[in-house]
Structure 1
Amino acid sequence: MGSDACRQGGLGAGRAGLPRLGSLRQPRGAPGRLEAALADQTVRQERLGAVQPRRGYRRAQGSRRTESRQGEGHALLVNSPVGIFTSTPDGRFLFINDALARLYGYDGAQAMIGAVTDIAGQLYADPRDRTEFARCMQNRAQVNSHECRMVRRDGSVFWASLHARAVTDENHNVLYYQGFLIDITDRKLAEKQSRLSEEKFTQVFMAAPDCIAIVRLADGHAVDVNLGFEEITGWKRSEVLGRSSVASGFWVEPGERKAMIEELNRGRDVMNREFTFRDSGGAVRDGVYSARPILIDGEPHYIFILRDVTERKQAEESLRLTQFAMDRAPDSILWVGDRGELIYANDAACSSLGFSREELLKMKVFEVDPDFPVEGWEQHKVDLKRLGRMTFEGRHRTKDGRIFPVEVTTNYIDYKGRFLGIAFDRDITERRRSQEERDKLQNSLFQAQKMESLGILAGGVAHDFNNLLQIMGVNIELLLRSIDSRHPSAPRLQTVARAVDRAGKLVQQLLFFGRKAVIQPKPLDLNREVEEAVRILERTIPKMILITRHLASKLWPVCADPVQVEQVLLNLGANAVDAMPAGGKLLVETKNIVLDTGFPGEKKDARPGRYVLMSVTDTGCGMSRETLTHVFDPFFTTKELGKGTGLGLASTYGIVKAHKGHIQCYSEPGQGTTFKIYWPALEQGGMAFEAPPQLDKPRGGDETILVVDDEPDIRELTGEILQSFGYRVISAESGEQALDIYEQRGSDIDVVLLDLNMPGMGGTWCLRELLRRNPAARVIIASGYAENGQAREALNSGASGFVGKPYQIHELAHKVRAVLDE
């Protein structure tokens, strides 16, 4: 700035000639006699001895001025509104007026002269400005409009314009500086604001994301365009300046431009009109433009502002399609706000809940979901914000109060700083129903597999148990036959015999639930079997339990094993008695029923047809849902330890399934229990009823019987029994030994009593070999296995009969005699 100030002085190089005082530009309003007043001040200073007077100059002044003129000039300087000063080159004031003192914040001229001893250090914000001022004064002898920042007494800074000249002696030595100072802070601020405003306009114009162009109205030529114009239209700035937009093909509809020009010519603004335009590549795009007429140097122009809304239009179209898709989505869609309020609901939500959209948008999510507590909403928001997405099952309540299950997938969105949850709710009523059906099928399959596995196990252990029971039972029976009924040991032997009999029934129950027991079906009148079983129950159950029968007349016959039917009724009766320790009622019902779709509530093995329904109902304590799921499981019991084997209902299940029937159980705690058994009815014209068999006293004989068993005790006892009936007995401990004996004495052997489960070749292969050697050989299978299990294969191979272990003496005698008499 100092250099500029030097140049503004207008002096040539060197110090030749003093500057004219009149060359200093006086501020507007400054007194016209300021030059004279300064000259007069110089004289006063010389008189006061402030500077060394120049003799020639003093003489010139002395000749021209009078004492009165000097006084007038001094008053002008002192009272001038412009800050006036005289200072030494080394930075001390010789004179200042009150205006300058006030400008710097001092009370008066003398106070400032006394306080300021270093002008550069005390008054200049930047001491370098003083140095530059001194340099200019040294080189040019004057400074005009030297602009710099000054510091007031209180430390505040202001801008000043400094005008001064150097006063020299005849040898051109600087004696002092004279000048005046103007506060230009307001002008500086105004210039800064103007400069900033211009810079801002330029920056905004160039940096605006919209396309902006300044166009001459007369011919449509572009005067200037911004960078946004290049980015949006694709045309470079150099390609459009001085050209008309019509020539470039910018306007897709020329009529649109014509309408705009007409409005501008009338001096009207054109605001936010949608139109289409072409970019430099010829692509048609959507836009919104505004235009305003302006004057530049008196010539009409207009500012054209364009915003490309192609992507917005596409987004709006996508939004419309998305809105349509959401409204028509098959699942319910709900938007939930920060306080749980519903702010959007699609058609499916309205349909599934039964509310109109207007009704839903006045509700909160807690009114839709009965399981969602209001107090849990804030924690739900926290969890959803943390996870971003959550899927869970809940329930919805319809307008009419119906509750149905839903799967909810909710997503969190931070929408303009606010919480927004978008929930997709799917009605899973059918899925739940299907899942329940699958669970039932799975449970049925599991139950069948479990029964099959345990049946295999039961069939295996039954053989070994029956062998042991056979030995014990026959020995006890022989002992009882050998002593008088009044013998002291007779009651004890009878007790042991009953225990063996119960053990045999336990094995039979194992075979029942595993479907391994011998089934001897025959046409039955189920009512008659019920009457027989009820008579047994009435003799055995407590008297405080009343048994009632509702038996249908003209009941269809069924094909079943009467022993096992009786076992089913006795098992169910015993189960009912245990459920009514304080007494109650036991109801047994029968009726004909035709199932069109199979067994109610079941899919597996569900065969439609004619059935006889037998129901057993008690008024006992009932069962929980959990107990019901295990009611037919083997060894499952709710009775106290030692009071139940857990095989009663399991064997019942096995018997019913073995007869191709079906059993169902209905129960609730405190509401009693009902078992429903569906027995397949015989087709019309089926087998006739058989009279109950009458067992005569076993007959003996003198035939020869080969007893084959690997258990020595069983061989010995069986031989003793047969011999007691007059038969001759030959024993073998294995299949191989039996074949050797048969090879030697086959013509003497009338019947072979053969055990199946033996070491070595086993009973089955022994049977086949015997029949190969003598197809007419008569072989009775004696086994602890079930007749329809492993024994069935032997019977199918040609065996003449079967007797199951443990057998009683009369059973064995009847079977042997029957085979011999065939």
Structure 2
Amino acid sequence: MLVSGLGLPELAQLLDRADQGVIELDPAWNVVHCSPAAERILRIDGAGAAGRPFADVLRIDDRSGGIESICRAVERDGTWRGEVRHGLPEDVRWAELSVHTLARPGNAPATVCLLRDITAFKAKEGTLREQERRYRLLAENARDVIWTADLSLKFTYVSPSVERLRGFTPEEAMKQTLAEVLTPAALQRASQTLAEELALEMSPQRDIHRMRVIELEERHKNGSTVQTEITLSFLRNEKLEVVGVLGVTRDVTERNRAVQALRRTEERYRITAEQTGQVFFEWDIATGQIEWSGAGEHLTGQSRLEFRTLTRSQWEGWVHPEDRARVIALMQQAMATPGPYSTEYRFLRKDGSYAVVEAHGVVVHGDASAPSRMLGTVRDISERKRLDDALRESQRAMTVLIHNLPGMVYRCRNDRDWTMEYLSPACEALTGYPTEALIGNQSLSYNDLIEESHREQVWEDWQRVLQEHGVYRGEYAIRRKDGALRWVWEQGCGVYSESGDVLALEGFISDITERKLAEQERSSLEEQLRQSQKMEAIGQLAGGVAHDFNNILTCINGFTEMLMSTMGPSEPIFLDLLEVKKAADRAASLTSQLLAFSRKQVIAPRVMDLNTALRPAARMIQRIIGEDVELRLQLDDCAGRIKADPGQIEQILINLAVNARDALADGGKVVLDTGCIRLDEEQSRQLAGSKPGAFAFIGVADNGCGMTPEVREHIFEPFFTTKAQGKGTGLGLSTVYGIVQQNGGFIDVHSEPGVGSTFRIFLPSVPEEVEAPEPRRSSPVPCGRAVILLVEDEEMVRKMILRILERQGYTVMVAHGPMEAIAMSEQFPGSIDLLLSDVVMPELNGRQLHARLEASRPGLRVLYMSGYPENALSHEGVLEPGIPFLAKPFAVDALLRKLGDVLGG
């Protein structure tokens, strides 16, 4: 009898119901008896196994240690217990094997082997390992930065995501020290945290699974900082000694999106397998006494002496209170109803913890058919339960993570269609198609979605990465189901067999359309800014040159006119002086255009009806372009009113007409049109230099030779021209540009070589009524009887004006600058009738000088003169009302008439 008088057949029957195989061996370890459960587990014929060596029947894999090591352990200890691989090479299986030597009174000791098939359990362990591999792969492709460092805090690994987080490539990041990565405050906190963790490592509270989460501020490559959350833990060797630091760095700005899905719990990293405990019991129903054998110490934590006299009431007390009533009721039902039973419940260990156990049993009836004993097994399945829970948690966490990622997770084949085997639910948000439409190419392939011009590049890049066993990162466009074009970013890598063959591709695809649009808009704005800065710099230079030229031209014109006034037209030198005058006038026209480009031209804008102003100009344009060019007018009534200087509008039309004429060497057509437009924020971003609002436009289009993009880029720069030397100044379109800018508008140009060019001038629409132009008055040149204080810092101009005024009979006081003029005024006892002053001077401008003089000479009249007055008399070139002003260069008669108007006003 093996257990309390129970024979082997009875024990085999009992264990067979619990799928527990029993094999009895003789002293030579030959099979004496093999139970049906053992036959099923080992897949043998029990009758044929009798008498055969146990090693031949079990067929243990050499990696399990071999039958010899088991024999030695049994001879030495009387028992052996462990897990073994067995079976044929094509059908390897796992079993839990217990070998015991049992004493039998009056008989030789029996060697009994107990078997339990754990192949399914081992397969579940493999599934968990595969789940961990997939998780690591996903973590490697996630947006978090994973890094390791040695104990000197020198980085030993930094994942590719560091470039998105901090702008540094992994190679650059690996070379950085903590002081280069962290801000000073963050470095101090990191150092303190590490010191605390190392101190804990040396204390009784040491925990090899401990992690620490801290928030630190890190430096970005562009000079900014990034707020991050870092999860730290120690790297350990096989002896559990600390050899380094493992960190996972996350941009906390993404926390609200995916923190729950990305949080890693300790359970996911701590899926382990513990030895499964197996206990045999026999319960004497009459006495309540329970006898145990097997792994009772492992299951309960009690010693053999402590549980040898275990009673039913003690056992019931060890069952978890929540399970106790159910288990007792099950036992009573088993005693009342013949047949086996099985159940699971929680069992109290000596240390106060509970083990989850699986119990199987059968009731043995006595002679009177009354239940006398209950035989069974109790096995610790806590580990299996933990693994099941961990697997479910891992699957749940993986599902939550994938569902909350801002993009699509995929697994596909390496074929031209990118045949999908798995797609996360984000597929529909990204592509517009449900997952089932793309998996297996049911409705279409993923390659069909990739923009045709990008397909070959994506394929070539992927094949290169696979050959290098690297990581693919790429950006390309796809076409959604609704037809919308979206830009995506993909990161992934190959899954390889042991032989290196590509089994599949796995990775992540996210929508970056908004980022691409922002990059394009930023690039466009940067180009506009560069162009604006360039034109502003050229404008400053042009304005300064024009100012100096105007002073020179004022002298040339003035002295030339004075010489011409002393002789008749018949004298030979008169014609020469006339040519000098014409050349000076042409130079004055050029400086006027330079001032227009630099937005320093003094203007007098008024409200006008655009169409009314353009109709008379059509005849002028026809004369400019010639009779061999057809002119068409297309004036839209919606053009409405603008506020501008009529002379400047005429300048625009003349310059655009000349430009069109030069493009139509062999005749053609010019269209002059008007219209209106209202721009919102989005539309204004599409038109360079524009802003939201209502605009009227003037369009001049020709079907001439057109322009290349290179020429188009420079057309508004002063002195840029494509004409032959001597055929143009290169100031026409730059003048148009300056006038439009000065009036708060913008220009839109379209041109194509061989097709023609279209210029559209957009000027702000105004609601005011049309202003009638002031009538022109022609007054005679007055004779001088007044005292004039002349203030001019340019010596040549000063001498020329003095000569003019004295010849006309004026009394002139001459000052070289503002401070000298103030001193002369204070010292002069008589009255001063008029201040004739330059505007732009050192120390004080002309307006400030007049204010100082008027304080002591109330009512002092003033006439300002300047090549350009900057902002002393105007705002953005618009002359303030009532300001007497004479623009340089001026004619002698113009100066004298203007003086007469001011003095007589």
Shorter-chain TM-score: which interval?
0.5 to 0.7
C-alpha distance in 2 between matches for 1:653 and 1:718 = 34
Kindly report which structure 2 residues correspond to 1:63-462, keeping only aligned pairs within 5 A, or say none.
195-198=68-71, 202-204=81-83, 209-218=274-283, 221-225=291-295, 229=298, 243=310, 248-249=318-319, 253=323, 255=326, 302=377, 304=379, 306=381, 307-327=383-403, 329-337=405-413, 340-363=418-441, 366-370=447-451, 371-373=454-456, 374-382=459-467, 385-386=469-470, 392-399=474-481, 402-410=484-492, 421-438=505-522, 454-462=538-546
What TM-score comes out, normalization by structure 1 length? 0.63
Matched-pair contact (CA < 8 Å) for 2:660–2:704: yes
Give the CA deviation at 1:215.
0.4
C-alpha distance in 1 between matches for 2:529 and 2:600 = 19
Instruction: Return the letter of the residue paired with 1:376.
Output: D
Paired residues in the alignment total 623
Kindly report which structure 2 residues correspond to 1:770-781, keeping only aligned pairs within 5 A, or say none.
770-781=853-864
Return the index of the structure with the highest Cα Rg.
1
Matched-pair contact (CA < 8 Å) for 2:361–2:375: no
C-alpha distance in 1 between matches for 2:352 and 2:806 = 120
C-alpha distance in 1 between matches for 2:484 and 2:82 = 65
Instruction: Return the letter of the residue paired with 1:316.
Output: R
Which residue is 2:833 aligned to?
750
C-alpha distance in 2 between matches for 1:620 and 1:257 = 104
**Residues 723-760 of structure 1, C-alpha deviations (whole Å, 9 max, x = no match):** 45444444333334434444455635432321234456
Q: 1:193 to 1:598 in 2, by over 3 A?
A: closer
Matched-pair contact (CA < 8 Å) for 2:693–2:764: no
Give the CA deviation at 1:817.
1.4
Pair 1:576 & 2:449 matched: no
Q: What is the DSSP-based 3-state SS (H/G/I as helix, E as strand, rest coil) of the residue aligned with 2:830?
A: helix
**Residues 636-657 of structure 1, C-alpha deviations (whole Å, 9 max, x = no match):** 6666777666654443233223
Q: 1:775 to 1:310 in 2, by over 3 A?
A: same
Matched-pair contact (CA < 8 Å) for 1:801–1:819: yes
Matched-pair contact (CA < 8 Å) for 2:873–2:880: no
Instruction: Return the letter of the residue paired with 1:407.
Output: W
Matched-pair contact (CA < 8 Å) for 1:598–1:608: no
Instruction: Return the letter of the residue paired with 2:71.
Output: E
Q: 1:592 to 1:194 in 2, by over 3 A?
A: closer
Instruction: Return the letter of the residue paired with 2:407.
Output: D
Which residue is 2:898 aligned to?
815
Matched-pair contact (CA < 8 Å) for 2:834–2:863: yes
Kindly report which structure 2 residues correspond to 1:40-51, keeping only aligned pairs within 5 A, or say none.
none
Matched-pair contact (CA < 8 Å) for 1:706–1:732: yes
Q: 1:266 to 1:634 in 2, by over 3 A?
A: farther
Matched-pair contact (CA < 8 Å) for 2:554–2:888: yes
C-alpha distance in 2 between matches for 1:661 and 1:442 = 20
Instruction: Return the letter of the residue paired with 2:674.
Output: T
Matched-pair contact (CA < 8 Å) for 1:523–1:688: yes
C-alpha distance in 1 between matches for 2:464 and 2:712 = 39
Q: 1:368 to 1:554 in 2, by over 3 A?
A: closer
**Unaligned ranges ≥5, structure 2:** 1-51, 58-64, 74-79, 84-95, 99-272, 285-289, 365-373
Give the CA deviation at 1:369.
3.0
C-alpha distance in 1 between matches for 2:330 and 2:638 = 101
Give the CA deviation at 1:353.
1.6
Q: 1:430 to 1:739 in 2, by over 3 A?
A: same
Give the CA deviation at 1:780.
1.4
**Residues 45-95 of structure 1, C-alpha deviations (whole Å, 9 max, x = no match):** xxxxxxxxxxxxxxxxxxxxxxxxxxxxxxxxxxxxxxxxxxxxxxxxxxx
Give the CA deviation at 1:444.
5.3
C-alpha distance in 1 between matches for 2:306 and 2:715 = 92
Q: What is the DSSP-based 3-state SS (H/G/I as helix, E as strand, rest coil) of the residue aligned with 1:349?
A: helix
Matched-pair contact (CA < 8 Å) for 2:839–2:869: no
C-alpha distance in 1 between matches for 2:275 and 2:803 = 119
C-alpha distance in 2 between matches for 1:615 and 1:798 = 31
Which residue is 1:720 aligned to?
803
Give the CA deviation at 1:396.
1.5
Q: 1:221 to 1:187 in 2, by over 3 A?
A: closer
C-alpha distance in 2 between matches for 1:311 and 1:521 = 85
Instruction: Return the letter of the residue paired with 2:433.
Output: F
Give the CA deviation at 1:774.
0.7
Pair 1:661 & 2:745 matched: yes
C-alpha distance in 2 between matches for 1:643 and 1:332 = 63
**Residues 246-280 of structure 1, C-alpha deviations (whole Å, 9 max, x = no match):** 553279646569879969x999897xx87766655
Which residue is 2:559 aligned to?
475
C-alpha distance in 2 between matches for 1:530 and 1:216 = 113
Matched-pair contact (CA < 8 Å) for 1:634–1:647: yes
Which residue is 2:178 aligned to?
none
Pair 1:548 & 2:632 matched: yes
Give the CA deviation at 1:690.
1.7
What TM-score comes out, normalization by structure 2 length? 0.58
**Residues 686-733 of structure 1, C-alpha deviations (whole Å, 9 max, x = no match):** 353225525455444443433322333212222333345444444333
Which residue is 1:506 aligned to?
590
C-alpha distance in 2 between matches for 1:319 and 1:282 = 31
Instruction: Return the letter of the residue paired with 1:711.
Output: E
Matched-pair contact (CA < 8 Å) for 1:706–1:731: yes
C-alpha distance in 2 between matches for 1:421 and 1:644 = 64
Out of 585-594 and 445-454, give the one that drifted further.
445-454
Which residue is 1:132 aligned to?
none
C-alpha distance in 2 between matches for 1:743 and 1:269 = 126
Give the CA deviation at 1:777.
1.6
Give the CA deviation at 1:819.
0.6
C-alpha distance in 2 between matches for 1:302 and 1:793 = 100
C-alpha distance in 2 between matches for 1:593 and 1:188 = 98
Give the CA deviation at 1:445.
5.5
Q: Structure 1 vs Structure 2: percent identity of aligned residues?
A: 29
Matched-pair contact (CA < 8 Å) for 2:633–2:672: yes
Instruction: Return the letter of the residue paired with 2:488.
Output: V
Q: 1:792 to 1:552 in 2, by over 3 A?
A: closer
Matched-pair contact (CA < 8 Å) for 1:782–1:802: yes
Out of 551-560 and 315-324, give the one that drifted further.
551-560
Kindly report which structure 2 residues correspond to 1:661-700, keeping only aligned pairs within 5 A, or say none.
661-668=745-752, 671-684=755-768, 686-690=769-773, 693-696=776-779, 698-700=781-783
Matched-pair contact (CA < 8 Å) for 1:624–1:667: yes
Give the CA deviation at 1:562.
0.9
C-alpha distance in 2 between matches for 1:742 and 1:366 = 88
Give the CA deviation at 1:820.
1.2
Matched-pair contact (CA < 8 Å) for 2:784–2:808: yes
**Unaligned ranges ≥5, structure 1:** 1-185
Q: What is the DSSP-based 3-state SS (H/G/I as helix, E as strand, rest coil) of the residue aligned with 1:308?
A: helix
Instruction: Return the letter of the residue paired with 1:225.
Output: A
Give the CA deviation at 1:375.
3.6
C-alpha distance in 2 between matches for 1:798 and 1:534 = 31
Which residue is 1:538 aligned to?
622
Q: What is the DSSP-based 3-state SS (H/G/I as helix, E as strand, rest coil) of the residue aligned with 1:786?
A: coil
Matched-pair contact (CA < 8 Å) for 1:795–1:801: no
C-alpha distance in 2 between matches for 1:566 and 1:729 = 39
Which of 672, 680, 689 aligns to 1:588? It is: 672
Q: 1:460 to 1:292 in 2, by over 3 A?
A: farther
